[in-house]
Each structure stands twice: as C-alpha cells, then as structure tokens.
Amino acid sequence: MERIKVGTIDEYLALVDEPGKSIAQKFRNFLKELLPDAQEVISYGMPAFKTTEVLVYFAVNKKHLGFYPTGRGIEAFAPKLSQLGLTFSKGAIQFPYEKEIPFELVKEIAIFRKEHTKVKAPKKK
C-alpha cells in the first residue's frame, strides 16, 4: 500500500480496506494497552507509538501487516522470528493476514524497544 498522508491513526485506518483494517485495529489496541505511556503518532506515513522516540511502527500492506520495531528490535529477536518462520528484514516483520499474529512475541519486542529507549534517553540531553 502506498503511504497515506494523514494526521492520526484513526484517519489512517479509515482509508484502508479489509482485512487489513480490522487486523490493524486489533494490533493498535494491543499496543495501546501494552504501551500506555506512549503517544500515538503518524511518522513516515505510518501509525507509530512514541515516547522519547518512536518505539514501533505498523502499516497495512496488501497481503500482510508490516511491523517496524527498528533495526535494533529486529536484531534482538531474529532467532525467534526465524524459528516462527516469519518473513523479516533489517527493519520490518511481515504478519500475513491469513495467520494469527504472535502477540506474545510482539509484546516482547515492544517492551524491549521501550526499555531500550529508556536507557538511551538520558544520553540525548
């Protein structure tokens, strides 16, 4: 899917089709509950959750939900991603619409990113 120019995640989701829309909404709700201190933003045209920096992004694609926990988030979990047979690259994980999203792994990655940014945050000042 091409990048959509919107200001909020609600606007983003209003413009996408099923099955991506409902899967993305479920993913968003999961992240909102998991990261209550994070702000929902649109960054690089994608929904994202941000504290001192963006923790994770996600995006609706034609056949999968893209999850973008930055290169650091991928690197730390590459063995688990491989073990689950997921398609991933240096900065993205693909969750095919026809399969269940491994929410326990998403949780581990998002918490890792949250903790990693806490460690980095003092250095930015």
Pick the CATH number of 9-120 from 3.40.50.150, 3.30.70.1290, 3.40.50.2300, 3.90.1150.200: 3.90.1150.200
Cα distance between the two ends of the chain: 37
Q: In 110-121, which positions are buried (b, 16+ CB within 10 angstroms) versus exposed (e)?
A: bebbbebbeeee
> Whole-model pTM above 0.85?
yes
pLDDT digits (tens, 9 = 90+) for 41-72: 999 999 999 999 999 999 999 999 999 999 99
Q: Where are the domains of the chain?
A: 9-120
